[in-house]
Amino acid sequence: MMKIFHTVSEACSKFTTERYSTSFSSAIRMLHADLRQPIFNIYGFVRFADEIVDTFHNHDKETLLAEFKDETYKAINRGISLNPILHSFQKTVNEYGIDHHLIDAFFYSMELDLDKKQYDAKGYEEYIYGSAEVVGLMCLYVFCEGKKDLYEQLKAPARSLGAAFQKVNFLRDIKADFEGMNRVYFPNCDFSNFSHDQKLCIESDIQKDFDDAYEGIVKLPLKARFGVYVAYRYYLSLFSKIKRLHPQRIMEERIRIPNYGKIMILAKAGVRSQLNIL
C-alpha cells in the first residue's frame, strides 16, 4: 500500500505543476521519463511555499510559512509526510541527496517576501539566489543523477538559468508586484517613473544570465538537455518580447506568450535538437 501512497502524493505534485504552469509542465514532459516526476515534486513544493507569501492575504502568512517549513524538515527527516506535496518532495530530496542548504536558502527568501518591500544590490542577489537559483540547483541534482563532478561543473550555469527565469518573471510581473504588493525587487529602480535606461540596465544583466546558462545547457546529460532547452527558449522568447516594449507598457500589463507561440517554440527546439545544433 505504500506504493499507492507514493503514487497518490506524486500525482498531487504533478497536478499542481500542470495547473499553475502550463509552460513548465510542457518543458518537464520533454525530459526523459526517469526525470519528470522528481522535477514535478520539486516544483509542487516550491509552488505551495510561493502561494503562502503571495496569495493567502486573509490568513496569517508568517505562521503558515513557519509551519510549512517545520513540516518540510520533519518530512525529510522522517521520510514521510501526510501532506502529499511534502511527501513527494522529501522523497526526491532523500533519493537524490539534495543539499539541505538549498532548502534553507529557499525558505529564507520566502520569509523575506512576508514583509520586505525593497532591496539593495546585496539583498537582491540574496533573494534571487534563494528564490530561484537554488531551485535550479535542486533540479540539477536530479539531472546529474549522482554524478558529483558533473554537478560541480554545471552549478554556475544552473544558477544563471534560475536567475534569468526569475528576473524575467520580475519584469513580467512588475505591475502586480509594484501596484498589488508594493514590492520592488530591482535595486535602484523607481517604478513610478520607470525609464528606458533602467530597463536597458536590467535587460543587460538578464542577457548575461541567459548567455552563461546556455553554456551549461549544452553540457547537460541527454536525458535532461532537451527539456531544459525548451524552458530556456520559452523564457528567452518572453524576454525578447519584453525587450521590444516601451517601459510604460510592461507597467500596464502582464506580458505573455500565446499558445501558438509556445507550440512554435517547441517545434523549433525539436528541429534544432534533431539537427544536434542546440
63 domain residue, yes or no: no
User: Quick one: pLDDT at residue 95?
Assistant: 98
- Tell me how far apart the alpha carbons of residues 278 and 272 are, in angstroms, rounded to a whole number: 6
Listed in sequence order, the residues at least 6 apart from 190 whose beta carbon sits closer than 8 Å to its beta carbon are: 198
7 domain residue, yes or no: no
What pTM was estimated for this model as a whole? 0.93
Please write the tens of the pLDDT for every residue from 117-173: 889 889 999 999 999 999 999 999 999 999 999 999 999 999 999 999 999 999 888
Mean pLDDT of the chain: 91
Specify burial of residue 163 (Cβ count, 10 A radius: 0-12, 13-18, 19+): buried
List C-alpha distances in Å: 106 to 46, 139, 189, 212: 9, 13, 24, 22
211 domain residue, yes or no: yes
Q: Which stretch of 83-87, 246-250, 259-263 has the lowest confidence by average pLDDT? A: 259-263
Parent domain of 167: 68-80+97-274
With a cut of 80, say whether residue 268 has pLDDT above it: no
13 domain residue, yes or no: no
Domain with 172 in it: what CATH number?
A: 1.10.600.10
221 domain residue, yes or no: yes
User: Quick one: pLDDT at residue 233?
Assistant: 94
* Total number of domains constituting the chain: 1
141 against 27, higher pLDDT? 141
213 domain residue, yes or no: yes
Identify the band that residue 193 occupies on the pLDDT scale cut at 50, 70 and 90.
confident
185 domain residue, yes or no: yes
Question: Which H/E stretch holds residue 274?
Answer: helix 259-274
54 domain residue, yes or no: no
